[in-house]
Structure 1
Amino acid sequence: MNVTPERMDRLIAACDPEEAGDISDSIKEAVRNVPRHLFIPSVGLVVEEGEPYLIDQQADPGAWWDAVYSRSIIVTQLDDGTTDLSALRGDSTSSASAPSTVADLLNHLRVEPGHRVLEVGTGTGWTAALLSHLVGGQGEVTSIEVDPQVAEQAAKNLNETGFRPRLLVGDGALGCTDGEPYDRVHVTCGIRTIPYPWVEQTRPGGVIVLPWHPGYGTSHALRLEVREDGTAVGRVVGYAGYMMLRSQRPRPSLNQLPGQERRHYRVALDPRALGQLCAGADLAIAALTGCLSHTTTGADDRGEYARMWVSDPDDPRSWAAATWRPDDLDYGVQQVGDRPLWDEVVQAYAQWVALGEPHWERFGVTVTPEGQRVWLDTPEVMLSSA
């Protein structure tokens, strides 16, 4: 079965978050010339609203083609390859990202013919092929993948297209000095702490685009421009949910160690409220506390519950949890470790309110050899390290 014009038109429409022509014509042309199906395995796991489900090219070719040429995320690996996709459950560790997200990040990257591009996270190889099309014959694309099996399959996929980006296996956080200075650095994995080697390896005026996940709340698209002084400065430009860079995956223990005190108290604030904030509040809390967060739901012998967790990424001995139950008039909080994390999150939320509840578009980041700083409106108005 060939790619029908209807399927291709649907994919092009899916590349635009608003389906209103915001994605550049050069990116749409690249998508038309780099068939997505060449980068999708015969069996994949579609993740969208509702339950995940398998697509199988042999068992149901029509459904497979429809999913490939749609807005769907198609997971290609679970639990670093230790869990078969047929399990339908596990941590997604490699995928063909949603076309809208791929196109949006490329739009912010603004690749031009002749550019030298470093890609961090080869994945299926589709974005490396799109970048190769965009830079043309005079440009060069280097793509780094940490997982050897994923990298091997990407090389096979790319071989079908005729594009020949330079493919490396290694830790993308280190970048690649053999090829610098780059005009563009394109990152396809979630980043909490932006590695400075990417800044060092990019020419002044060059651009770095990445999915920034500071740890609290949602993930964001961040566009940085490298300056003559060796810093990179830029703003949050949208949303971008990607799997985390493997070396930056959060691993809070959330366990009480021997001798640690567990402090219990009750609060009036529904903990679900702090897990469902707008993106501006999430950014402020991440900047002011550096906390990681996640929410769990379930039921136990007391009935239904929702639990909001916050933890210190640099000290897994410090964490807090607040629990909602449907009949409670106030809510239980427990804290472990030296930092009063729940109190810090509440105070950071109050500070965001006091600042006038700034929208996510007002936030930016500066990256220096010493680390990264989050700012509001201008780089001179720093909030804190993140």
Structure 2
Amino acid sequence: MSIGERITALTDRLTDLDDKWRDAFHAVPRHLFIPDKAWCHPDDGPGFLIDRTADPEMWLDVAYSNASIVTQIDDGATDLERGQGDYTSSTSAPGVVAAELKLLDPYDGDEVLEIGTGTGWTAGLLASRLGDESVTSMEIDQVLLATATEHLQQAGLSPRLVLGDGAEGWREGAPYDRVHVTCGVREVPYAWVEQTRPGGAIVVPWMPRWAGGHLVKLIAVGDGTAVGGFHSGVDFMLLRSQRWSRPRLEEVYRKSTTYLDPRRVVRSSYGAEVAIAGMLPEVCGTHETQDGGEFHLSLWSDDSDAQVHYAPDYKGVAILQRGPRGLWDELEAAYLQWVSWGSPHRDRFGMTVTPEGQHIWLDSPDRSLSVPMNFGE
């Protein structure tokens, strides 16, 4: 199968692509941006090494599959062949790229600031669609930027590439019509709002501490704020300046029980995920199903943690909490608050970013989750 046939087969599966983006996918072949050795990270199975020298056909098959391909681990400190460690750069799955580009929806002539050059593939897609002179892409890692430059040159493209912290944006080229973010953020940097022209858009993978991530499209209002809504679920590597680590606590746990099944909390819907993340922005959680139908939920913040264990043979759920906060108590209250609102879906929530920070709201920007809400007014 030729490269062109592989690209056609891939784009035929991506419903978010219009004809112009399809043309860009053909003009900027994905395999030019993938190293000879990389780690495939599919959604439906374990990861595996791809090696162009050892198996060139399999390498090409993966390059034109709808899978993300990890190209750096532990900021380059760990060999890709191991496949273990923190993934710190990748070529995103084409389906995710297509969804984000559809939301970006640039007009001909728009100027775009991209945060996170990575391998250079999405910068190349933007440059092919809009022209080299219309695209500025920022990368904080000098090695990644040098490699992306080589990839783009092979594709015959030369958008402006900038070495720097993407959280600060690039004021020299502002204002921009679109800001395209290829890394996850917990807090949207206000510099991006400042550097977007009124009516311009910021498309960003929001990766809160609680549960999964969500694509958000924000529109700059022109008064120093940006407002927008939530779209599809995503999983992106974090902006380097917003990484975090789990604290170590030495205090003794406080014991209690609850009748709320923790499985309901973590499996309800994307709407519950957004609501909880909006009300409890500092709370993280992981969970696992164990043998015999048991279920364990771990929660933590900067100064507290909690362990929640469900066992089918007991009506009560065991709770252990320590630190100044009762994280399970807070999570239980936030979840039941969401239920009391009628269990609204994700598309009823939105985000506003101001100079003071960001907040999540339900149905209207004046109904922030961070303040009491009265729907009777």
Query: TM-score normalised by the shorter chain: which range applies?
Result: over 0.9
Equivalent residue runs for 1:279-294 within 5 Å: 279-294=270-285
1:318 aligns with 2:304: yes
Q: Which residue of 2 aligns with 1:268?
A: 259
CA–CA distance in 2 between the matches of 1:13 and 1:330?
51
Equivalent residue runs for 1:7-26 within 5 Å: 7-16=6-15, 22-26=16-20
Equivalent residue runs for 1:57-136 within 5 Å: 57-136=52-131
1:188 aligns with 2:182: yes
Q: Secondary structure at the match of 1:347?
A: helix
Change (3 A) 1:24 1:292: farther
- Unaligned stretches of 5+ residues in structure 1: 17-21
Q: Secondary structure at the match of 2:39?
A: strand
Q: Is the 8 A contact 1:296 1:307 kept in 2?
A: yes
Normalising to structure 2: TM-score of the pair? 0.93
Which AA in structure 2 matches 1:83? T
Q: Which residue of 2 aligns with 1:46?
A: 40
* Per-residue deviation, 1:251: 1.6
Q: Deviations over 1:166-197 (max 9, x none)?
A: 11222111111111011110000111101000
Q: Deviations over 1:10-60 (max 9, x none)?
A: 2203433xxxxx422211111111100100111111111221111111111
Q: Secondary structure at the match of 1:308?
A: strand
CA–CA distance in 2 between the matches of 1:274 and 1:234?
25
Q: Is the 8 A contact 1:71 1:98 kept in 2?
A: yes
Q: Secondary structure at the match of 1:225?
A: strand
1:384 aligns with 2:370: yes
CA–CA distance in 2 between the matches of 1:169 and 1:311?
34
Give the alignment partner of residue 334 of structure 1, picking from 297, 312, 320.
Answer: 320
Q: Which residue of 2 aligns with 1:345?
A: 331
Q: Secondary structure at the match of 1:239?
A: strand
Q: Which residue of 2 aligns with 1:307?
A: 296
Q: Is the 8 A contact 1:10 1:70 kept in 2?
A: no
* Per-residue deviation, 1:296: 4.7
* Per-residue deviation, 1:292: 3.1
Q: Deviations over 1:245-285 (max 9, x none)?
A: 111123221x223xx34212233333333232310001111
Q: Deviations over 1:93-139 (max 9, x none)?
A: 111100011011111111122221110011110000011112126x4
1:277 aligns with 2:268: yes
Give the alignment partner of residue 154 of structure 2, picking from 146, 156, 160.
Answer: 160
Change (3 A) 1:343 1:75: same
Q: Secondary structure at the match of 1:269?
A: coil
1:201 aligns with 2:195: yes
Which AA in structure 2 matches 1:90? G
CA–CA distance in 2 between the matches of 1:23 and 1:2?
21
Equivalent residue runs for 1:231-246 within 5 Å: 231-246=225-240
Q: Secondary structure at the match of 2:344?
A: coil
Q: Secondary structure at the match of 1:164?
A: coil
Q: Which residue of 1 aligns with 2:374?
A: none
Q: Secondary structure at the match of 1:190?
A: coil
CA–CA distance in 2 between the matches of 1:271 and 1:340?
15
* Per-residue deviation, 1:198: 0.3
User: Would you say how many aligned residue pairs link Structure 1 and Structure 2?
Assistant: 370
Q: Is the 8 A contact 2:4 2:26 kept in 1?
A: no
Change (3 A) 1:85 1:303: farther
CA–CA distance in 1 between the matches of 2:217 and 2:39?
30
Q: Is the 8 A contact 1:111 1:134 kept in 2?
A: no
Q: Is the 8 A contact 1:275 1:294 kept in 2?
A: no
CA–CA distance in 1 between the matches of 2:78 and 2:296?
27
Q: Is the 8 A contact 1:295 1:306 kept in 2?
A: no
Q: Which residue of 2 aligns with 1:369?
A: 355
CA–CA distance in 2 between the matches of 1:340 and 1:110?
43
Q: Is the 8 A contact 2:304 2:322 kept in 1?
A: yes
* Per-residue deviation, 1:327: 5.0
Q: Secondary structure at the match of 2:178?
A: strand
Normalising to structure 1: TM-score of the pair? 0.90
Q: Which residue of 1 aligns with 2:214?
A: 220
Change (3 A) 1:161 1:215: same
Q: Secondary structure at the match of 2:180?
A: strand
Q: Secondary structure at the match of 1:382?
A: coil
Identity, % of aligned positions: 45
- Unaligned stretches of 5+ residues in structure 2: 372-377
Aligned Cα RMSD in Å? 2.0
Q: Secondary structure at the match of 1:27?
A: helix
Q: Is the 8 A contact 1:113 1:136 kept in 2?
A: no
Change (3 A) 1:105 1:89: same
**Bigger shift: residues 190-199 or 41-50:** 41-50
Q: Which residue of 2 aligns with 1:19?
A: none
